[in-house]
Amino acid sequence: MKAMRFSWKNICLPISCINNTNQKTTTNPSKERLLMLSRQTSVRSRVYLSDFSNSTISLNDFSNSFLIDIHIFTYEELKTITQGFSKYNYLGEGGFGEVYKGFLDDSLKTGLKAQPVAVKALKREGGQGHREWLAEVVILGQLKHPHLVNLIGYCCEDDHRLLVYEYMERGNLEEHLFQQYGGALPWLTRVKILLGAAKGLEFLHKEEKPVIYRDFKPSNILLSSDYSSKLSDFGLATDGSEAQDSNFTKSVMGTEGYAAPEYISAGHLTTMSDVFSFGVVLLEMLTARKAVEKYRSQRARNLVEWARPMLKDANKIEKIIDPSLEGRYSFEGIKKAAALAYQCLSQNPKSRPTMTTVVKTLEPILDLKDIQNGPFVYIVPVTGANEVDDIKCKDDVRVVKEETEKEANVCPRHRAGRRKRRKHKPMRSRAVYSDTTLYKSLGTSLYSPAE
């Protein structure tokens, strides 16, 4: 049996990456609208994903008329800048495909500055396809904002579909919040990250036809060197026209634990769906627990169901706060954030706040500086202490001495076991919990969110 050669053309939307000159000229409403909008130089209009459905619009026509500072790369060019998609440049993998780090030389293309980039390659056997790749090109190619990741260019050559983004030095929020690279994120840093992400969603929702992000989660929030946050991965995003199409919303897409209940049950997709997802991530920021943790008991497995009832009780809030913060946060800020999360997670979409309200609520929290310094530690002086200090520390020294004697009476085998356990006990850097330390190293930009 002869094997069939796989091609995106067999499964993707009916658009071509290259103009077909042999095609007969036909009247197409979507193409006519595209040409009409391209002539309106005074007011820039958006082209929507729905304009590509059942049309003969060429991606080249779209790129030449509407994309903002987007470069078209060849597959060989991207292969070169990633050193042949080397495993040493591998950054990670998602539903879309593998991501590699590369470096653009300013001599590669006119108007292209030298910079590190992230190259994302669509895998043909993956769960996402050409429609998701196209969504990223159409949305990020037209919409620019400080809190949306910058799309530098794309490759649409034969069966290859790749995207080239700006490189974000600190990875994504999930790595810092749950894997705790370098220690726990300080409280004010968490607020800054969520505020930036909220501004990104607010910008999308304020479009003439709101863009519904549909996949808001920590792994899609990228961080720069100063912890400024940017939304990435727009493969599941959709504009208002598609969201209102019942056929489009028939299948629920997204990540378990983050989707709004009305979207799961009835396929109702609105901007309030993004607000619910934001509430889940805000709750994760407060607790440092994932939206779904299947190893926990049935009652505590779903974070929203377990934690939301406690968000209204001031006496219970501190019990669910991330213990790695060790009390170093503004209690007033915690209460305000908990109240906001409770509203965002309402079962009724009409009871949830808009993202504009969310931004206005988070901004004052960033200014609250009533942050505890953590537990007081008193070090007993051992040499050169004056008489007053000796008197104050007399009892403490006796306690230490008694503890030492107890250690000496422990069976040597048990003592060796204790030393072994102590040896493998993970050590944490105290500096990572201090907002002041980060402030000194990063300057005022740490607390000054990007406009």
Q: How many domains does the chain have?
A: 3
Q: Is residue 379 part of a domain?
A: no
pLDDT in tens, the chain (451 residues): 444 443 444 334 434 454 433 444 444 555 455 555 544 444 457 788 777 765 545 666 666 666 778 899 999 999 999 999 999 999 988 777 899 999 998 888 878 889 999 999 987 665 557 788 888 999 999 999 999 999 999 998 888 899 999 999 999 999 999 986 678 899 999 999 999 999 999 999 999 889 999 999 999 999 999 999 999 999 999 987 555 554 444 567 888 899 999 999 988 999 999 999 999 999 999 999 999 998 888 888 999 999 999 998 888 998 999 999 999 999 999 999 999 999 999 999 999 999 999 999 999 999 998 887 655 444 555 555 444 444 344 444 343 344 444 444 555 555 555 454 444 444 343 333 334 344 344 444 444 444 4
Same domain, 308 and 415: no
> Is the same domain home to 128 and 85?
yes
State the pLDDT at residue 44. Answer: 53
Q: Which helix (H) or strand (E) holds 103?
A: strand 97-104
Based on the domain organization, do 281 and 153 belong to the same domain? no
Q: Is 30 inside any structural domain?
A: no
Q: In the prediction, which pLDDT does 53 show?
A: 63
Residue 15 lies in a domain: yes
Q: What is the pLDDT of residue 215?
A: 93
Question: How confident is the model at residue 15, as a pLDDT?
Answer: 41
pLDDT of residue 282: 98
Q: Within this chain, do residues 344 and 254 fall inside the same structural domain, yes or no?
A: yes
Are 359 and 394 within one domain? no
Identify whether residues 353 and 403 lie together within a single domain: no
CB 282 within 8 A of CB 276: no
323 DSSP 8-state letter: G
Which CATH number covers residue 123?
A: 3.30.200.20
Our CA angle for 40, 41, 42, nearest 5°, is 95
Can you tell me whether residue 21 is helix, strand or coil? coil
The first and second tokens of residue 353, run together, are: 């706040």
Domain final residue, candidates 166, 192, 221: 166
Q: Answer whether residue 391 is part of any domain.
A: yes
Task: Please say whether the beta carbons of 217 and 274 come within 8 A.
Answer: no
Examine residue 18 and state whether it is found in any structural domain, yes or no. yes
In a domain, 182, yes or no: yes
The pLDDT assigned to 24 comes to 42
81 lies in the same domain as 211:
no
* Strand 97-104 to 229-231 pairing: unpaired
Residue 280's domain spans which residues?
Answer: 173-366
pLDDT score at 370: 82
The domain that contains 192 carries what CATH number? 1.10.510.10
Q: Is 215 known to be catalytic? A: yes
Question: Which pLDDT belongs to residue 187?
Answer: 95
Residue length, the chain? Answer: 451
Domain C-terminal end among 166, 187, 219: 166
Does residue 380 belong to any structural domain of this protein? no
H helix runs in 141-247, sequence order: 173-177, 187-205, 240-243
Which residue in 44, 373, 443 sits closest to 226, CA to CA? 443
Same structural domain, 177 and 73: no
Same domain, 19 and 72: yes
Pairing mode, if any, of strands 90-93 and 229-231?
unpaired
Q: Are residue 86 and residue 105 in the same domain, yes or no?
A: yes
pLDDT of residue 99: 94
Residue 376 domain-assigned (yes or no)? no
Instruction: Check whether residue 292 and residue 220 sit in a common domain.
Output: yes
On whether 87 is known to bind a ligand per the annotation, the reply is no
Indicate which residue of 61, 106, 159, 215 is catalytic.
215
Q: What is the pLDDT of residue 183?
A: 80
Residues 137 and 152 in one domain: yes
